[in-house]
Structure 1
Amino acid sequence: MNYDLQKADLSVVVAEAGLVADETRRIFGQLSAAQINWKPGQGDWSIGQCFDHLTIANRPYLPIIQEIRQGRKRPRLRERLPLLPGLFGKMIIKTLQPDSGRKVKARPQFLPSSTAIDPGIIGAFLDQQESLVKEMKATRELELERITITSPILSLITYSLMDAYRIIVVHEQNHFVQARRVLEAPGFPT
């Protein structure tokens, strides 16, 4: 996987999103409920929680992208400020990269379930990923760097639609790597 997406164009981001989906299906697609819910330690997330978190975090992006694609989205005042979107987008992408060494706490509304997660979460993530990729591809004719959105995570932050795509995929890569570490941790059930 290519973790440096700061300047990646749409074709690279879409390819990376496809790779995340393919590798998720291959590596995590056949895990049992016990494996999906196993945690390496107190306070650590399970594989299921990693993918539950991603489906929760990605969900708000779909209607935003659809509104833009359909020409129904009107820019908010904050989205019209010229310097902020570029600054915030790059900062978030850099922070979320799997090899950044930074640990970012999820906001409460984006935390995964604390109860047992159904192994179907992998299929749910893959279905959502397919929808996201389809929406990304449908916007390829738009000026993605010039369209600004407000972050669904923190309303004070704005970034370009292209940076939103980069953020989505880098965030997925981050939690894919986290889930992979769980799978490789000592004591993982076989």
Structure 2
Amino acid sequence: MNNEISKLVSELEEISGSAKNTFGDLNGEQINWKPSADGWSVGQCFDHLIKANLLFFPELEKIASEKRQSSFLENYSPLSSFFGNLLVKSLQKDGRKFKAPSQAIVPPSEIDAHIVEQFAAHQREVIEQVKSTEKADWQRTIITSPFMKLITYKLADGFRVVVEHERRHFRQAERVLQADGFPK
């Protein structure tokens, strides 16, 4: 396993471990408690991450099979590096709220009480998907965002987006725990 993959796998494992340590003992009421009518619960944060990550899987499977054909936009977009960096930087800033770009990744109101365990299992799948792309050149392989079809970025940036997106919603879930009224 090369250094780039090892670093990414370590980051994903760290997020998974922190999720289990921080949220693993919450009960169903705590998992589903919302700080406000329009705020997300801890469970919704993790459900959203699972759904968002799954949208990357078909592309990663094609890359791993070495049978993937790049689209015209992926071959000729001069802005791929720009979009990747912009997205990563925007995810690192908690002050700005984003609307989920697709209804497919908006979590339902009621989440299974075992969502943190499901997230940990999902992280193992994400790690396997990452490892499966080892033969690809992460800096030269350009992918299209599964959320915004006119945005392309390097595969390496796509993985950075996944990690920063997970970190962002982990921090959001931590804020839910600290909110006034959180059930103890």
TM over 0.5: yes
- Give the equivalent residue in structure 2 for 1:178: 172
2:132 is the alignment partner of 1:133: no
Matched residues in 2 for 1:112 and 1:57: separation?
A: 10
- Give the equivalent residue in structure 1 for 2:152: 158
> How many pairs were matched up?
181
2:50 is the alignment partner of 1:58: no
Query: Displacement, 1:118?
Result: 0.7
Query: Displacement, 1:133?
Result: 1.0
Matched residues in 1 for 2:12 and 2:23: separation?
A: 16
- Give the equivalent residue in structure 2 for 1:3: none
Query: Displacement, 1:40?
Result: 1.1
Matched residues in 1 for 2:162 and 2:69: separation?
A: 22
Q: Describe the SS at the equivalent of 2:34.
A: coil
Query: Displacement, 1:37?
Result: 0.4
Q: TM-score, normalised by structure 2?
A: 0.92
- Give the equivalent residue in structure 1 for 2:42: 47
Query: Displacement, 1:13?
Result: 2.5
- Give the equivalent residue in structure 1 for 2:6: 11
Q: TM-score, normalised by structure 1?
A: 0.89
1:42 alignment partner AA: A
Gaps of 5+ in 1: 1-7
The CA RMSD over aligned residues, in Å, is 1.6
2:138 is the alignment partner of 1:144: yes
Matched residues in 1 for 2:102 and 2:64: separation?
A: 29
Paired residue for 2:31, among 27, 36, 40?
A: 36
2:84 and 2:152 in contact (8 A); partners too: yes
1:151 alignment partner AA: S
1:166 alignment partner AA: R
Gaps of 5+ in 2: none
- Give the equivalent residue in structure 1 for 2:100: 106
- Give the equivalent residue in structure 2 for 1:167: 161
Paired residue for 1:86, among 81, 89, 96?
A: 81
Matched residues in 1 for 2:132 and 2:37: separation?
A: 42
Query: Displacement, 1:145?
Result: 0.9
Matched residues in 1 for 2:120 and 2:100: separation?
A: 21
1:14 and 1:133 in contact (8 A); partners too: yes
Question: In the TM superposition, what whole-angstrom CA distance separates every residue of 1:156-189 from its partner, at most 9, and x where no partner exists?
Answer: 1111111110000100000000001001112111
1:36 and 1:48 in contact (8 A); partners too: yes
